[in-house]
């Protein structure tokens, strides 16, 4: 990739690097750096020092990127400055079309204008329960909203939802009942919304539900109605990109419009102009996702080059697209869609590809997969082993379905009868596409889950690929085959460096999987909202999971979204045991996903506890006696575990209540512990004074969700814990709470604040 043909690549890289470091640098320093870079750069240019000036000015571009990425302070009237949580009568304007993500749940984005009659600003994401009235983009509405600060689950190695919302300009979220929404006007939907609605309605009328949903995903990126099994199959097959509108769709549309115009014998310039208009209109219909914006900017630049009868540089167009998007939406740099789109496109552009049809297609698929590998591992912990081959069958079928589907939708606007005929033609293609995807998804090991690579591994990986490309380019320029003998040592240097860096990247990325145990006991109370999920990493390297948070219909699956990523990023692919303390959804709901995603040696429940204590190196796991009285409450039948190592011990009390606590005290069972996982999220029906007198905890951890409707934790429970001398940690405030011990000292990390507290368990140990 020559800088002469890609002069915008260095500024784009510098601007992106600036955005990446914006959070660690103050605006004053950045502004001073920009002024210094401009002054010094201009001085160097005046003295003819072009290279030095270029480097300094690129540093100035990075400073501009950091200033842009840092964002502006919130205005004084922003809704995030209200006293939250609160309930307020809010009116404002819808910033996008409503999104229905469950049969009775809809998501709205409201640009607020007033709250309780006072002027405010800021965007609010609202979850509406029930069936709302017909609404459209740009419409003014009013409703009583329960306002809260935008938060997410705060755990090591998991998705930060609050940061994602902040990049979208959303600092406040809310809930509302559908019947409380009041439309304040009745505008006609924008033409783009009408086109999209009409297209989806035409598909729904002409095709069976699953096929209509699949075609909506292919043409419009709308996966709202796509059945879960089909959605999962596309993910497992490593071909989910065809359901996210991107360069694939835009290129097909532009090529089809261009070919049609040329078939009608329109001049080249007129054909290019028509294609530009159609591509921009398509982007307005499907929405401004990062992949769509990238593809549209590149397509417009290429078509504009045809319009001006100039040669277009694809790589330069890619760099300009990145600059344009990041200048307007700097937060997109951290968006997986942005990263996947640009990485895949760059990989295809710079890779040496065969001219043969089959080998060329295989090369394109391989280049794209290699380019996006760090991104898919970093965001999704996924390595697709079948994706390269699956794309050979999926991409042609998806391309055919897209072209015929676009024709069918266009014809349906003119005549529904003619449109139905075209939809009948696309239906077999959709069935074939589903069949190929289902076959690929059923292949054993189609997706391998691995830890997310760190920046060192990613840097080595990218550097290794770059050196291999440089070596291949040198061989090609010399006119010698890549495997020719008799090469000079200098000619082999890029090859050896590339291979060495790739080996180093694999080694660094695989370290969490092979690192020896440090001999410590580590217990993590994960932040899963109103529920329990506890990961215990034993001193011998094995791991146990106790509960997995919520899951099931109409719920976020904490097992899949929180527990699994945490385990993968800790290098845990196999569990020595899983314990479901009882069957409540907030404890057992996420366990189905865990069983699907991990190999498990033993499974325990309250009805089937371990027959005897289990030893894991220096740690001992002991089940406490089960409920004696038959017919008691389900919570009291929960599995209770005690883990001890040296002077440290942990009591995991699940959701037991006062009756079970009384039984444990009366039985004389030894359950005194350093750390108490407080029962039932701090419910007033648990954690009695007599129980605490026997437990004698130094530390108490409460797994509880913010804004839970039960009032947990109960003030009385907090008072009893404080009276017992226990230091209290809560997942709703502290995020994940991580306990580490060598048997003599205890370290407690509040993940949200990155704060570490130390406790000496041995009077002779210095903490």
pLDDT along the chain (767 residues), means of 10: 74 93 84 91 88 91 91 89 92 92 88 95 95 92 94 92 90 94 92 92 94 93 88 91 82 87 88 91 86 85 80 84 91 90 90 81 90 94 92 92 92 89 94 95 93 95 93 74 51 87 95 93 96 97 96 83 96 96 94 96 92 94 82 83 96 94 90 96 94 96 91 95 96 96 96 94 73
Instruction: Clarify whether residues 46 and 177 are in a common domain.
Output: no
CA–CA separation, 452 and 458 (whole Å): 10
> What's residue 309's pLDDT?
72
Instruction: Clarify whether residues 425 and 481 are in a common domain.
Output: no
What is the sign, positive or negative, of the torsion defined by CA atoms of 297, 302, 308, 312?
Answer: positive
Its domain, for residue 149, covers 79-189
Instruction: Clarify whether residues 555 and 642 are in a common domain.
Output: yes
Instruction: Clarify whether residues 440 and 461 are in a common domain.
Output: no
Query: Which residues lie closer than 8 Å to 199 by C-beta, 6 or more apart?
Result: 216, 219, 220, 285, 409, 412
CA–CA separation, 655 and 499 (whole Å): 54
State how beta strands 105-115 and 123-129 pair.
antiparallel
- Residue 495: CB atoms within 10 Å: 18
> What's residue 479's pLDDT?
62
Q: b/e map of 147-179 (b: 16 or more CB within 10 Å)?
A: bbebbbbbbebbbebbebbebbebbbbbebeee
> What's residue 486's pLDDT?
44
Query: Which residues lie closer than 8 Å to 416 by C-beta, 6 or more apart?
Result: 202, 205
Residue 766 is assigned to a structural domain of this protein: no
> What's residue 767's pLDDT?
63
CATH number, residue 746: 3.60.15.10
- Total number of domains constituting the chain: 5
Residue ending a domain, among 416, 449, 482, is 449
Instruction: Clarify whether residues 399 and 499 are in a common domain.
Output: no
> What's residue 676's pLDDT?
97
Instruction: Clarify whether residues 63 and 101 are in a common domain.
Output: no
Residue 23 is assigned to a structural domain of this protein: yes
How far is CA 520 from its chain centroid? 31
Phi, psi of 356 (to 5 degrees): -70, 150
Residue 407 is assigned to a structural domain of this protein: yes
Instruction: Clarify whether residues 270 and 142 are in a common domain.
Output: no
> What's residue 687's pLDDT?
95
Instruction: Clarify whether residues 386 and 478 are in a common domain.
Output: no
Q: Which of these, 556, 559, 561, 572, lies nearest to 532 by C-alpha position?
A: 559
Say which DSSP state 559 is in. I
Q: Which of these, 131, 125, 133, lies nearest to 108 by C-alpha position?
A: 125
Phi, psi of 519 (to 5 degrees): 80, 10
Residue 86 is assigned to a structural domain of this protein: yes
CA–CA separation, 156 and 52 (whole Å): 41
Instruction: Clarify whether residues 223 and 135 are in a common domain.
Output: no
Which structure tokens are listed for 732? 């709703």
Instruction: Clarify whether residues 558 and 440 are in a common domain.
Output: no
Residue ending a domain, among 173, 189, 205, is 189
Answer yes or no: are the C-beta atoms of 134 and 128 closer than 8 Å: no
Instruction: Clarify whether residues 504 and 577 are in a common domain.
Output: no
Instruction: Clarify whether residues 327 and 251 are in a common domain.
Output: yes
Query: Which residues lie closer than 8 Å to 711 by C-beta, 6 or more apart?
Result: none
Residue 1 is assigned to a structural domain of this protein: no
> Cis omega before residue 85 (within 30°)?
yes
Query: Which residues lie closer than 8 Å to 704 by C-beta, 6 or more apart?
Result: 530, 681, 682, 712, 713, 730, 731, 732
Residue ending a domain, among 163, 189, 215, is 189
Q: Which of these, 343, 341, 295, lies nearest to 317 by C-alpha position?
A: 295
């Amino acid at each position: 990739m020559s800088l002469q043909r890609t002069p915008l690549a260095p500024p784009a890289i510098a601007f992106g690097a600036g955005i990446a470091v914006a959070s660690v640098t103050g605006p004053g320093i950045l502004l001073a750096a920009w002024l210094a870079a401009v002054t010094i750069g201009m001085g160097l240019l005046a003295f003819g020092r072009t290279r030095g000036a270029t480097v300094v000015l690129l540093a100035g571009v990075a400073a501009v990127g950091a200033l842009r990425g840092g964002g502006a302070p919130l205005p004084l009237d922003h809704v995030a400055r209200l006293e939250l949580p609160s309930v307020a009568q809010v009116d404002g304007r819808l910033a996008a079309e409503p999104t229905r993500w469950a049969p009775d749940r809809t998501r709205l984005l409201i640009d607020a204008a007033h709250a309780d009659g006072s002027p405010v600003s800021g965007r609010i994401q609202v979850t509406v329960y029930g069936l709302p009235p017909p609404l459209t983009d740009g419409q003014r509405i009013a409703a009583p909203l329960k306002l809260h600060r935008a938060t997410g689950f705060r755990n090591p190695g998991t998705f930060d939802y609050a940061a994602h919302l902040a990049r979208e300009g959303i600092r406040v979220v809310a809930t509302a009942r559908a019947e409380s929404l009041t439309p304040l006007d009745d505008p006609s939907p924008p033409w783009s919304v009408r086109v999209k609605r009409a297209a989806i309605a035409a598909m729904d009328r002409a095709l069976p539900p699953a096929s209509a949903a699949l075609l909506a995903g292919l043409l419009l990126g709308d996966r709202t109605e796509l059945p879960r099994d089909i959605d999962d199959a596309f993910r497992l097959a490593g071909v989910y990109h065809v359901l996210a509108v991107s360069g694939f769709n835009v290129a097909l549309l532009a090529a089809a419009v261009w070919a049609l115009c040329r078939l009608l014998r329109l001049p080249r310039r007129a054909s290019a102009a028509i294609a530009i208009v159609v591509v921009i209109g398509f982007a307005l219909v499907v929405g401004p996702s990062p992949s769509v914006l990238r593809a549209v900017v590149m397509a417009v630049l290429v078509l504009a080059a045809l319009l001006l009868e100039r040669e277009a540089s694809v790589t330069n167009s890619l760099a300009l697209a990145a600059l344009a998007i990041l200048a307007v939406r700097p937060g997109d740099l951290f968006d997986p869609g942005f990263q996947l789109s640009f990485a895949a496109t760059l990989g295809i552009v710079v890779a040496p590809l065969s001219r043969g049809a089959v080998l060329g297609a295989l090369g394109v698929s391989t280049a794209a997969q290699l380019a996006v590998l760090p991104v898919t591992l970093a965001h999704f912990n996924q390595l697709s082993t079948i994706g390269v081959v699956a794309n050979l069958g999926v991409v042609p079928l998806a391309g055919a379905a897209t072209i015929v589907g676009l024709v069918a939708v266009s014809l349906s606007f003119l005549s529904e009868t003619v449109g139905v005929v075209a939809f009948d033609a696309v239906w077999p293609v959709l069935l074939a596409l589903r069949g190929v995807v289902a076959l690929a998804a059923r292949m054993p090991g189609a997706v391998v889950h691995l830890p997310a690579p760190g920046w060192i591994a990613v840097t080595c990986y990218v550097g290794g690929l770059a050196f291999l490309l440089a070596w291949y380019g040198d061989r090609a320029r010399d006119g010698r085959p890549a495997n020719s003998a008799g090469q000079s040592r200098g000619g082999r240097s890029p090859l050896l460096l590339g291979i060495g860096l790739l080996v180093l990247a694999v080694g660094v990325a695989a370290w969490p999987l092979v690192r020896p145990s440090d001999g410590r006991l580590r217990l993590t109370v994960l932040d899963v909202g109103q529920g329990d999920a506890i990961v215990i990493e034993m001193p011998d390297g094995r791991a146990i999971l106790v509960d997995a948070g919520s899951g099931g219909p109409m719920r976020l699956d904490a097992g899949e979204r929180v527990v699994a990523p945490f385990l993968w990023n800790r290098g845990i692919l196999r569990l020595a045991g899983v314990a479901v303390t009882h069957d409540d959804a907030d404890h057992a709901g996420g366990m189905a996903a865990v069983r699907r995603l991990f190999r498990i040696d033993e499974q325990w429940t309250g009805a089937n506890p371990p027959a005897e204590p289990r030893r894991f190196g220096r740690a001992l796991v002991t089940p406490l006696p089960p409920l004696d009285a038959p017919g008691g409450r389900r919570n009291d039948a929960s599995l209770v575990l005690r883990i001890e190592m040296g002077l440290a011990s942990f009591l995991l009390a699940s959701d037991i209540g006062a009756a079970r606590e009384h039984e444990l005290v009366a039985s004389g069972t030894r359950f005194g512990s350093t750390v108490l996982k407080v029962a039932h999220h701090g419910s007033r029906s648990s954690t009695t004074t007599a129980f605490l007198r026997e437990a004698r905890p130094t530390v108490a951890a409460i797994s509880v969700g913010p804004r839970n409707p039960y009032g947990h934790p109960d003030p009385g429970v907090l008072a009893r814990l404080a009276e017992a001398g226990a230091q209290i940690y809560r997942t709703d405030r502290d995020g994940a709470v991580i306990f580490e011990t060598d048997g003599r000292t205890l370290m407690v990390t509040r993940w949200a604040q990155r704060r570490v507290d130390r406790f000496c368990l041995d009077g002779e140990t210095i903490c």
